[in-house]
Structure 1
Amino acid sequence: MTEWERSSTARVIAPARPRKLAKVPFVELADGRLQGVVSSGSDIARVYVSSVVAGTYAFACSTNNNRPCGGARGSYCNHIRALINEAVLQYGAGRVGRYLRVETVGEDEPSAGGITYAMSSARPSQGDATAAAPVFSRFLRHLGYLELAPVTVPLPEMHWFPPTRAVA
């Protein structure tokens, strides 16, 4: 058993490329969606929770207090485009494309623009924003971890993860 398998921490996959967190501080591939938090360009106190559903490309974008995005009317708004761009930086275009089940034509390695174009060509519908609350909650929880002092002992709230054992 390796050292990391005996600890209460897990390996973190390094980002495909470094990214700036000011515009899109939180992005994840989870729950069958590309989802995250995008900063407002006009109000420093406002953020948008944006998501795109894998396969159907249905999208949702609303503020942190559940007001709909004015730019997401029938097509992807700038918040969703920024989310896709940052997801490609974080996870790599291949992984994002496979997760969202996007087929880009004529590209060996898809790009953020190619992924966005392919999804837009499918004429996605505007989905519901029910995922906004849990996504924003996870984002706030991640921010809370940034305020903790660095320690090497396990965090009590993470202790419920079962230890992994090699099966013989």
Structure 2
Amino acid sequence: MSPEWQKSSTARVLPPARPRKLAKVPFVELADGRLQGVVSSGSDIERVYVSSIAAGTFAYACSTNNNRPCGGARGGYCNHIRALVTEASLQYGSERVGRYLRVDTGDGEQTAASLLSGMTGTRPGQDESKAAATVFSRFLRHLAYLELAPSTAPLPEMQWFPPTRAVA
């Protein structure tokens, strides 16, 4: 017998573990074997950073939306990556983020701070920096959906399945 979620054409949406600050980290996701997202710059309102941490290896990348490397991500996690982990912990819960990234904190209770301290052997990642364009593109796609007027009509780009009846 297949699970209930496999019988549905919709995905289950989990509510956030706690409210988070969308102005600082407007986009965060656990996808493609990484914790990744978009983090606002603290100094320039028109600049955002695309940050990511790979699951298991904890290799990281942080660069602007124009692919300029983050100046703070030298030899360790920058403030953008720290903010990403903090907001992901609020969005998904620290336990889920820790399981996804395969972080062993050694203690029973996980927090964003314990996740960051549990990710040892960090190094800049080559593959993670290549993913920045994909992450930023997903972020822009999410923004485009926010501009749509509320409607119950289907969106053409969301219709993945062929029609059930033949068209004459």
> When the two structures are superposed, what TM-score results if normalisation uses the length of structure 2?
0.88
Q: CA deviation at 1:13?
A: 1.1
1:65-84 aligned within 5 A: 65-84=66-85
Could you say which residue in structure 2 is the equivalent of 1:165? none
Could you say which residue in structure 1 is the equivalent of 2:155? 155
Could you say which residue in structure 2 is the equivalent of 1:166? none
- Aligned partner of residue 41 in structure 1, secondary structure: coil
**Cα shift readout 1:19-55 (whole Å, capped 9, x = no counterpart):** 1100000000000000000000000000000000000
> When the two structures are superposed, what TM-score results if normalisation uses the length of structure 1?
0.88
Could you say which residue in structure 2 is the equivalent of 1:5? 8
Q: Unaligned stretches of 5+ in structure 1?
A: 163-168
Q: Distance in 1 between matches of 2:11 and 2:155?
A: 12
Q: Which amino acid aligns with 1:14?
A: P
Q: Which one has more relative contact order, counting CA pairs under 8 Å at least 6 apart?
A: 1
Q: Distance in 1 between matches of 2:117 and 2:34?
A: 17
- Out of 125, 128, 137, the position equivalent to 1:127 is 125
Could you say which residue in structure 2 is the equivalent of 1:109? 109
Q: Distance in 2 between matches of 1:11 and 1:118?
A: 30
Q: Which runs of 4+ in 1 moved over 3 A?
A: none
Could you say which residue in structure 1 is the equivalent of 2:29? 28
Could you say which residue in structure 2 is the equivalent of 1:45? 46
Q: Percent identity?
A: 72
Could you say which residue in structure 1 is the equivalent of 2:165? none
For the aligned residues, what is the CA RMSD? 1.9
Q: Unaligned stretches of 5+ in structure 2?
A: 163-168
- Aligned partner of residue 142 in structure 2, secondary structure: helix
- Aligned partner of residue 85 in structure 1, secondary structure: helix
- Aligned partner of residue 34 in structure 1, secondary structure: strand
Could you say which residue in structure 1 is the equivalent of 2:92? 91
Q: CA deviation at 1:12?
A: 1.7
